[in-house]
Amino acid sequence: MAQLIDGNRVRDQILAELKPRVDALIARECRPGLAVVLVGQDPASQIYVRNKIKACKDLGIYSDAITPPATVTTDELLAIIADLNRRSEIDGILVQLPLPKQVDAKRILLSISPKKDVDGFHPCNVGNLVAGLPGPRACTPAGIIELLKRYEIPIAGRRAVVVGRSDIVGKPAAMLLLHEHATVTICHSKTPDLPAVCREADILVAAMGRPAMITGEYIKPGATVIDVGTTRVEDRAVVERLFSETPDRLAAFDKRGNVTLGDVHPGEVARVAGAYTPVPGGVGPLTIAMLMTNTVAAAERRAGLC
């Protein structure tokens, strides 16, 4: 049976390690500060933001939630970011995506000071990642590396395949794995014979946003599978097919009317892989933990501690 990689456990370890660092900053009157900008009333985004604010509160990080209306313009949002860039008590700025269609998301993200870009999306920080220079790393990819290291899964010299080439997950995950001396392949919708390429992987990272696409034929026996996908599924026929052997998941679906699925077939990964991250409870918890890590590191740079 494959080993389950518990993201909640690793998240708790990271947050526990951050607490004394936050306390030390507070003692120097340099309390870390995070501003979260949430446009509109999207329910899923509201949940994400609440979780981030709660994590700040638990650690002792100052947080400020800015909630402009869904009708906000690009110029109005740029003015909000400019003000946050000037505020000395704010070490990190996070703009919750997606933004409304009338807002130029690229202009907004580019307007965030690279020093306060705790998402690691700014081109300056992407360049630092490529060059192997210090700076904030994209949270989800950084969390993947933490999971592998804390479960003592070897990376150096291993073959890693990343399925998905997004700027937020796929590309930075591939670069971080490369910096850990893995041999890395990035796959996408145009990759011929995708299952065969995936079967070469000792470490397989699935980040396409296509529920249960990665089946047993994609997985090398004994490989480590990191499932980044999270898709809400409301079709009972799909859930019955995927969880025919796990009645508790079917019962949970019947109670809620939906279930969250990853990009990897949940039953087949447990049968073929050597270790894997579940959905939920795998990579997801690490995203907020690494956001807190980036915020604390930014405060430490402001305090001259690094």
Mean pLDDT of the chain: 95
20, part of any domain: no
Residue 175 lies in a domain: yes
Is residue 204, in this structure, part of any structural domain at all?
yes
What angle, rounded to 10 degrees, do the helices at 284-302 and 43-59 form? 50
Domain membership of residue 209 (yes or no) is: yes
273: in domain = yes
The enclosing domain of 35 has a CATH number of 3.40.50.10860
- 56 belongs to a structural domain: yes
Q: How far apart are CA 214 and CA 210, in angstroms?
A: 9
Listed in sequence order, the DSSP H helices in 138-280 are: 139-150, 170-179, 194-198, 236-242, 247-256, 266-272
Of the residues 91, 115, 117, 119, only one is catalytic, namely: 119
pTM of the prediction?
A: 0.94
Q: Are residues 215 and 272 part of one domain?
A: yes
Residue 125 within any structural domain of the chain? no
Helix (H, G, I), strand (E, B) or coil at 191: coil
Asked if 213 and 246 sit in the same domain, the reply is: yes
* DSSP annotation string for 219-235: S-TT-EEEE---EEE--
Q: How far apart are the C-alpha atoms of 217 and 196, rounded to whole Å?
A: 8
Q: 177 and 88 in one domain?
A: no
Give the rounded percent of residues in the chain with a pLDDT score beyond 70.
100
Question: In this structure, are 108 and 169 located in the same domain?
Answer: no
Q: Please give the Cα distance from 200 to 202 (Å, whole number).
A: 7
pLDDT at residue 268 is higher than 80 = yes
Q: Out of 91, 96, 117, 227, which one is annotated catalytic? A: 96
| Total domains, the chain | 2
The per-residue pLDDT for range 190-215, each reduced to its tens digit, is: 999 999 999 999 999 999 999 999 99
CATH code at 226?
3.40.50.720
CA distance 104 to 63: 25
- What is the pLDDT averaged over residues 39-61? 90
Angle of helix 43-59 relative to helix 7-27, nearest 10 degrees, comes to 50
Strands 224-227 and 203-206: parallel
Q: What band does 47 get if pLDDT is binned at 50, 70 and 90?
A: confident
Same domain, yes or no: 159 and 232? yes
Say what the pLDDT of residue 82 is: 98
What is the span of the domain harbouring residue 210?
139-284
Handedness of CA 257, 260, 265, 268 (dihedral sign): negative
Of the listed ranges 103-107, 167-171, 264-268, 294-298, the least confidently predicted one is 264-268
The residue length of the chain stands at: 306
Indicate if 241 and 151 belong to the same structural domain: yes
Same-domain pairing of 250 and 198: yes
In the numeric block, which tokens belong to residue 136?
Answer: 């904030």
Please tell me the predicted confidence (pLDDT) of residue 303. 92
pLDDT at 36: 96
**Residue 119 annotated among the catalytic residues of the structure:** yes
- Asked whether residue 189 falls in the same domain as residue 233, the answer is yes
Q: Which one of 80, 115, 150 terminates a domain? A: 115
> Is 86 a domain residue?
yes
Catalytic one of 52, 115, 116, 220: 52
- pLDDT attached to residue 148: 98
Distances (CA, A) of 17 to 32, 164, 293: 15, 31, 10
From CA 301, how far away is CA 305, in angstroms rounded? 6
**Torsion over CA: 281, 284, 288, 293 (sign):** positive
pLDDT band at 247 (very low <50, low <70, confident <90, very high): confident
- At 33, list the tokens: 């500060």
* Same domain, residue pair 66 and 170: no
pLDDT at position 114 over 90:
yes
Of 150-154, 224-228, 302-306, the one with minimum mean pLDDT is: 302-306
Instruction: State residue 38's pLDDT score.
Output: 95
The reply to whether 206 and 262 lie within a common domain is yes
Q: What is the pLDDT of residue 278?
A: 95
Q: Are 163 and 194 in contact (CB under 8 A)?
A: yes
The region of weakest confidence among 23-27, 177-181, 185-189, 242-246 is 242-246
pLDDT digits (tens, 9 = 90+) for 127-168: 999 999 999 999 999 999 999 999 999 999 999 999 999 999
111 lies in the same domain as 205: no
Q: In terms of domains, do 150 and 280 share one? A: yes
pLDDT at 246: 78
**Known active-site residue 96:** yes
- Does residue 220 have an active-site annotation? no
Query: What is the pLDDT at residue 86?
Result: 98
User: Per-residue pLDDT tens for 61-93?
Assistant: 999 999 999 999 999 999 999 999 999 999 999
In angstroms, the CA 285 to CA 140 distance is 9
